[in-house]
Amino acid sequence: MSGGHAHALHFHGHSPIHRLPAAVKLVGLLAFVLAVVATPAGAVWAFSGYTVILMVLLVLSEVPARFFLTRLAIDLPFIAFALLLPFVGEGPRVELGPFAVSAAGLLGAWNLIAKATLSAGASVLLAATTEVPDILAGLSRLRVPAVLVAIASFMIRYLEVVAGEFRRTRIAMAARGYKPRSALDWKPVAVSAGALFIRSFERGERVYQAMLARGYDGNWRTGAHEPITRSQWLAGLLPGIVAATIMLASRLL
């Protein structure tokens, strides 16, 4: 929900989870999140199961809980949204302390919070244990079109360069007393965004020249992928498989 960050959530380490190939982790993440989202709201025990899985993974990853929890706070605005559901929901009311709240709304709130938090937790774990270039390599291994991966890798390479230029412009403006109050006040910033676009474009041209100079002929060559062993797949998909089993059980029961 936030506009942008300049730094990824990576937490350097050498745990078994850090060492798993990114492609395996990406598939595992998708499986886990799918299971979570497909679980009926009432199956509280299932969500407890997912929480246990996530906690085990967190311990294995050696990512400090504090680091993990602060990164999870991204989700907070939506939690606030969900928390209001009990008060606006319809249908029979139940007593909750001093309030009479909607039972359906209460369930709805729980549903959103549990799912959004568990999924975001799994995403944070991926981001914390996987270097960005490895995420890119994993995507290309999973047959994401090479052009998209290439665009993403250029984006990541130049994110700090471009954001840094932008930040410096805004600091220079602030240093001369500029303080925007309404959208119309944003004219200087918008003009500088236009200028930044031109600079980005011109850098794109120079980068292209640098690529040509090193033999680029229009074919994006991705390096060879290290083979993924069957046990790595199994280890990476295990949480997802367990979660899927829990999900199926919760739907059948």
Among 13, 15, 27, 38, which residue interacts with another protein (rule: CB under 8 A)?
38
Q: Is 54 in the site for another protein (CB under 8 A)?
A: no
How far apart CA 253 and CA 243 sit, in angstroms, is: 15
Alpha-carbon span 28 to 22, nearest angstrom: 10
Q: How far is the CB of 234 from another protein (least distance, A)?
A: 21
Among 92, 97, 98, 223, binds another protein (CB under 8 A): 223
Q: Which of residues 87-106 bind another protein (CB under 8 A)?
A: 87-90, 104-105
Within positions 64 to 83, which residues make up the interface with another protein, using CB under 8 A? 71-72, 74-78, 80-83
Restricted to residues 111-130, the positions that interact with another protein (CB under 8 A) are 111-112, 114-116, 119-120, 122-124, 126-127
Q: Does 243 bind another protein (CB under 8 A)?
A: no
Sole binder of another protein in the list 55, 161, 172, 174 (CB under 8 A):
161
Asked whether position 135 contacts another protein by CB under 8 A, the answer is: yes
**In the range 203-222, which residues lie near another protein by CB under 8 A?**
203-218, 220-221
246 binds another protein (CB under 8 A): no
